[in-house]
A and B are shown apart, each in its own frame.
Chain A
Amino acid sequence: MTETAVIGLLVATVQFATLIYLAALGELIVERSGVLNLGVEGMMAMGAVSGFIMALATDSPWIGFAFAALVGMAVAGIHAVVSVVMGAGQVVSGLAVTIGGLGLAAFIGQDAVRERADAVFTDMSIAPLADIAWIGPILFDQPPVVYLAVVLGGAVWFVLNRTRLGLALRAVGESASTTDSVGHSVTLLRSGAVLVGGAFAGAAGSFLSLYMAAGWTEGLIAGRGWIAVALVIFGAWRPGRLAAGSLLFGFTLALQPRVQTFDLEILGLQVNTISPALLGILPFLLTVVVLIAISFRARHRPNPAPAALTIPYRREER
């Protein structure tokens, strides 16, 4: 295995990690407010196609990226109205967003398929750091969205833990009636969270079409939205652990297409005989392991999942 191959694997790891981290960070905000949005896959698809088309039209990947966030937000708005404002089942509503979003994205993107965009993100090397051996190309010669994801991770942590808004958001995800009783609007907090989560998912989707794949095809998202949903659980609903988890999941995603080219033996196992399909299961397998670990630990301390997750709130019901 060559040095270039290893660096290539790790560069891709960081990019896949960024992709699912952005989407998962949005879903984390949503779930901390007590709403489950299973529409991530659909919102990412809508973001990917609309961001791509907008970048084609404007020649600017940034305008495409921002537009993707707006479209993600608009799609999430459906979930906000149905599940938060009207209090319908979150699981059904979220699944509808995924199915509808994937279908609509395929329809909108018919003409954009295989069109190569000139306006895609390019790598942005951070001058002195990018020259460091190994670390430089992996961490400091990446597209700007990678750096943005790091900044957003810190910002989400700060808002959640150091602001009044974050306190209210954490509280509404644990007990909506408590939050209502102290005068915060449950509907406003939760709808806001769902919309922001949609923006993150839409933006994440466009990172695929505006950089990683640099184009749009139907099926582009390929289950990464679901990995993001699993990642929120894996990261125990915390931005920091989410980052660590995204690198691990990102690694399995990056390894998947490359594994059969690696002529390497680890513990008597020939790496290139591992099936990429089996690697694809790994994030979900790890998530199940974490869920089991959580339930064992939950005997001694509260479950890290927001207590009000998936429970709609109506004031009259005491």
Chain B
Amino acid sequence: MGRLDRQSAVIAAADDFTCLSPLAKCPTGLRPFARLKTGLMHRFANPARFLKIARPLTGWLFWPGLLLLLAGCACGLFLTPADYLQGDTVRILYIHVPAAWLGMGGWSGIAIAALMQLVWRHPLAAIAGRAIAAPGALFTAICLATGSIWGRPTWGTWWEWDGRMTSMLVLLFLYLGYIALANASARQGQTMGQGGVSNVTAIFGLVGAINIPIINRSVVWWNSLHQGPSITLRGSSIDMALLWPLGLTLLGFSLWFGAIVLMRMRAILAQNKVEARMQRLARG
């Protein structure tokens, strides 16, 4: 690395660093240097740049998402026919399937954020992991609850320790562990940047990802009470007459999940701002 390169890299790093503190104004003269090293991923390490996109995007995800999921639920409740075997109980699938998808998708997001945090030291990734955890845990709990309510009339039991149910319960415990670990490390000031999760928490997020393929394959590998996958790459064994509202709720809940994550990330960034201001005031 040439001398000039190193110099500009130092300045660029300083620029990134000062931009991370929400109060500091980036000296505009340094901006071109910052561009030298910023790829697409690092562009959004800057909270100001991230917020510029996140603010309008929140609304664009929230309202269409809400509309789609309400429409999907209404269609699933009133427009689709009852199942030949399960009767009206089948309608719980319009909530159960998106909840399962987002519970597992949430942890996949945590794992990706953890990788970005550990490898590239991406400060927003640390915040994203923390923002995903609570809604991910919520949707996992919804999945377990709706599954249990469906299981009683269909199977004749609220709960059985079969592969699918047990691995999904483990996912809920992983979420709770992740949240506890993130909060504990935040209290001790071990987090990466402000408001993110600690590296230990990120490693936990990465290790926990092994559960995701296990949940997905549990009904294929092992005899289980839970039925096999209905929707595969080859097609769907759910008849089209019953299937179509599921597309609406899947998309709606997913957009909504994205909006919740963005809101939580913005809340964490705003909290950082408040804390920085308090510290400055305390210093006088």
Partners in one complex: no
Q: Which residues of B contact A (CB under 8 A)?
A: none
Q: Which residues of A contact B (CB under 8 A)?
A: none
